[in-house]
Chains A and B, each alone.
Chain A
Amino acid sequence: MIDWPWMADHLDELAFRLVQHFFLAAIAVGVGFVISLAAATWVARRRRLRGLLVGTSSVLYTIPSLALFAALVPVTGLSVLTAEIPLVLYTLLIFVRNFLAGLDSVAPEVLEAADAMGYSPRGRLVRVELPLALPLIVGGLRLASVSTIGLVTVSGILGDRFGGLGFFIFEGYRRVFATEIWFGGIPAILLAVAVDLVLLRVQRRLTPWAASEAVATGRQAAGAS
């Protein structure tokens, strides 16, 4: 069933595609992260704009990915832009939702204390709101990373310069060669899992205070039962 020698022959190409896959995803996640963070912090306390942003990103999310890649070809050609634009757009909804939820999760008395201590609005955002939103921000980052790593395979539709590990999947499908489909699919899954685990560690490292909070709420829950 599985053609092991073929695999052994293509390890070089696997490495190349893996790196390509990683970078296609990383660029999209990075760009989406920055755009969303700017947008979310800007609209967080403006109710009307906030609805507009969440609404727009929800609509974008419903467009089928294959259609979006195809639709962009006449506009941006077979370029990196064509691959990245849809990937970025799909991250927006995840990020915007999580960032807003993170900012919302900051208790009102904490915001009030920050104002009363004499934080400027910017200082409050940077020193108080964003740090407290971190668990949900990094949560969004994990979700967006895993979902984008999956989607990168679809960009293989744009030809062999794109798609990362998806290249093997499209090739294998075209040649009706199962080994090659697995050869692309399984590393893609492993990459997603690995990135998720790394980000989980980052999350724990960045929010040491969340640990004693978990203990405290655990204690309360245990006491209540």
Chain B
Amino acid sequence: MSRAARVVFEHVSKRYPGTAEGSGAVDDLSLEVPAGTTCVLVGPSGCGKTTTLKLVNRLIEPTSGRILVGDRDVAGRDPIVLRREIGYVIQQVGLFPHQTVGQNVETVPRLLGWDSGRRRARTDELLELVGLPAARYRDRYPAALSGGERQRVGVARALAADPPVLLMDEPFGAVDPLVRERLQNELLSIQEGLAKTILFVTHDIDEAIKMGDRVAVLEGGGRLAQFGTPDEILANPASDFVARFVGADRGLKRLALARVGDLQPADVTIAHPGDSAADARARVVADPFPYLLLLYADGQPIGWIGGKDVPGDGELAESMAVSASPLLDRHTTLKDALSMLLASSVQAGIVVDRRGAYQGIVTADMITERMRPAAESRS
């Protein structure tokens, strides 16, 4: 059961009874979520996100169209069996107040008839996974948890039977930004290990960009406004609605998607303490970038010497360098890199490897240059 399964919507529409023609909750939705990837449904309140999720596990039946989980049409499946194979985190968490945290988490395994030893082991494993030490939390009732802890239990409950597909409806909606950030990161690292097919609902575009391999932007009436990778959506919004929805700062948001490792670092003039100053001066003067980077023998940066400050004779010394500009890791996002550069007096950040050794430099110009081509290809 743990094998991931793709989820496919084919021309799916849902109109609630009693609503006017053309004002559906979901309108002719077609999209495919490949197995093992995360698709985020994002859009303003009331645009049909929750409805779309509930169509997958048949809490709601579509008016027309069909939905495949794996390769099977859900309409032909027993809803109760289907739901036990699909993890669901509901928008309002919905823990069972009369059951302990442990009993809540083991709900689906119990329905599937697992024996109590296996259930217990699984529950403890999951509570640890979502960052709640089992010994402390297993026997508490939901009323004795904070909002963030409840949402974690909700996630653990959805994962309990190791379902191939996970539906998450604003799973981190009710917590403060710091806790949300932590829960997001935890889910990302959990997902790295599990590779579930996840449909994740949010109305927060930043969360969508962060969590999604693909993002589906929905607009009022349940119409799909755009479906693509976060970078595609930020670089080329398909309509004014999408452009407005992703925000005027979409350029900066794209920066958050790319990392220093995606850039080809540039070379600068380097030297080591003890090297001939005259030689170094000759090299730096010849370079359009008028700074000399002084490195230790193992490659770790010491700092910069301005080209004109390099003495005409003698040896280079550690004391000549002014301390190094921001050190960038290949995992640093370009957004963070740019903001570090703006905050320091030098134009360049030094890219270092895991051991801290110099690899090259990245300048603010290189970062903005990198964002340009995709943006131009829009017109």
B84 pairs with A131, CB closer than 8 A: no
Q: Residue B80 at the A interface, CB < 8 A? A: yes
B59 CB-CB contact with A under 8 Å: yes
Contacts of A93 in B (CB 8 A): none
Smallest Cβ-Cβ distance to B93: which chain A residue: A109
B80 touches A112 (CB 8 A): no
Are B143 and A212 in touch, CB under 8 angstroms? yes
Q: Does A43 contact B (CB under 8 A)?
A: no
Number of A residues whose C-beta is below 8 Å from B?
24
Q: A112-B94, A118-B81, A119-B111 are in contact. Are A212 and B144 (CB under 8 A)?
A: yes
CB pair A113 B95 closer than 8 Å: yes
> How does the 8 Å CB contact mask read for B76-90 relative to A, with 1 for contact and 0 for none?
000011111000101
B90 contacts A207, C-beta separation under 8 Å: no
B126 to chain A, nearest CB (A): 14
Say whether A118 contacts B94, CB under 8 Å. no
Which chain B residues border A109 with CB–CB below 8 Å?
Answer: 90-94
**Contact (Cβ within 8 A) A116 B98:** no
| A4 adjacent to chain B (CB < 8 Å) | no
Task: Determine the distance from Cα of A132 to Cα of B94 in the docked complex, in whole angstroms.
Answer: 13
Q: Which of A113, A118, A215 is the one whose CB lies under 8 Å from B96? A: A113
A216 within 8 A of B: yes
Residue B107 at the A interface, CB < 8 A?
A: yes
Residue pair B108, A216 in contact (C-beta under 8 Å): no
Query: Are A116 and B97 also in contact (CB < 8 A) when A212-B144, A213-B143, A215-B143 are?
Result: no
Known: A113-B96, A212-B143. A118 touches B90 (CB 8 A): no
Q: Are the C-beta atoms of A115 and B59 separated by less than 8 Å?
A: yes
B99 near A: Cβ within 8 Å? yes
Asked if A224 CB lies within 8 Å of chain B CBs, one says no
Between A and B, 23 residue pairs with Cβ closer than 8 Å are A107-B94, A109-B91, A109-B92, A110-B95, A110-B96, A113-B88, A113-B90, A114-B96, A115-B59, A115-B83, A116-B59, A116-B83, A117-B83, A117-B157, A118-B80, A118-B84, A119-B80, A119-B111, A120-B80, A128-B96, A134-B98, A209-B143, A212-B144
Residues of B within 8 A of A (CB): 57, 59, 80-84, 88, 90-100, 107-108, 111, 140-141, 143-144, 157
Closest 7 CB pairs of A and B: A113-B94, A118-B84, A118-B83, A109-B94, A109-B92, A116-B88, A216-B143
